[in-house]
Amino acid sequence: PLALGFLTGKYNKDVQPTGPRKSIAKTLFEGETGENFPELLKVMGDISQNHEGVPLSQVALNWARSKGTIPIPGARSLKQATQNLGALEWNLSEEEVLALDNASSRVPAYISPDKSPFPKEDINTKLKMFDS
For the chain, give the mean pLDDT: 83
Confidence check: pLDDT of 15 > 70? yes
More confident residue, 100 or 4: 100
pTM of the predicted model, to two decimals?
0.77
- Segment 65-70 shows an average pLDDT of 94
Domain interval for residue 41: 3-128
Residue with the bigger pLDDT between 18 and 130: it is: 18
pLDDT for the residue numbered 107: 82
Distance CA 62, CA 12 (A): 21
CA angle in degrees (0–180, nearest 5) for 12-82-118: 45
Q: What is the domain count for the chain?
A: 1
